Amino acid sequence: MATYSGVTPRHLAPLVHLLGIVSMVLMALWTKCFRGGYGLSGSGVFNLHPLIMFAGFIFLSSEAIVTYKILSGDKKLQKRVHMIVQGVAIFLAVLGVTFAYKFHLDIGIQNFYSLHSWLGLITITLYLFQWILGFMAFWQQSVAKVKRAELLPWHVFLGLAAYATALATAELGLLEKVTFLEKSESPPLRIWSGEAMLVNIIGIVIFLLGAFVVLTSLIPRSRKDKGYRDLLE
């Protein structure tokens, strides 16, 4: 088993937490200070979309993945925390999509035409499927242990695939918004402006956060770690 030079999830968890907090602060700074804040109409309702989607599928989902790896003791507690945090993430994501949908309806823009929106729908579908699969197979244990063993690698793979899709969707969303501001805003957003640079920094922090979350999910807790086999217990 690879030991990653002795690095364990507990070594990486503080960095993941820090990157998550920094990314949330930067996202709030952008949407509040540069984009005009929040509301239930106009640009205010749209600004809730990136903030809430980010809080759900990037920040909370990262925490759910890492927390499962670093929580020790009762396996039921690990599963419960992971399932609850991911459930909240899904709820926030659906809420975030609703805000974007309302904004588009209010100003007469078509919905679900861009790659960003298509990947967003795929992400929500994957997360919902994963949550239901995890609840039925590994929490309720409604299937035989041998079947859970067969499902386990697929659950891990699909979970990371869903998370990677969420990261890609977030990056595309930032690119789409900045491109729109540079081409259609009046006056147009300057490419070297403070806001444009802030969005670039947010994108880089998202990449770093995602990379360390995936690394944390892959490395064993210790030399004796059974990986994700404890999901079967």
Place of tokens 């930067």: 26
pTM higher than the cut 0.75: yes
Rg over alpha carbons for the chain, rounded to the nearest Å, is 19
Please count the structural domains in the chain: 1
In a domain, 61, yes or no: yes
H helices of the chain, in order, are: 9-29, 42-53, 61-70, 75-107, 115-133, 145-184, 194-218
**pLDDT profile of the chain (233 residues), mean per 10:** 77 97 98 96 95 98 95 85 96 97 93 96 97 92 87 93 98 96 91 96 98 94 60 58
Specify the pLDDT at position 73.
Answer: 73
**Alpha carbon separation from 21 to 37, 62, 160, 205, 233 (Å, rounded):** 19, 11, 21, 10, 33
CATH of the domain at 170: 1.20.120.1770
- Domain assignment present for 147: yes
Six-digit token pair at 57?
Answer: 């599928």
The helix-helix angle for 75-107 and 42-53 (nearest 10°) equals 160
Is 232 part of a structural domain of the chain? no
In a domain, 230, yes or no: no
- In a domain, residue 159? The reply is yes
4 in any annotated domain: no
Q: What's residue 229's pLDDT?
A: 57
Residue 233 lies in a domain: no
Q: What is the pLDDT of residue 29?
A: 98
Dihedral sign for Cα atoms in the order 176, 182, 183, 184: positive
CA dihedral 150, 154, 159, 164 (to 10 degrees): 160
User: What domain range includes position 206?
Assistant: 9-221
Q: Is residue 226 part of a domain?
A: no
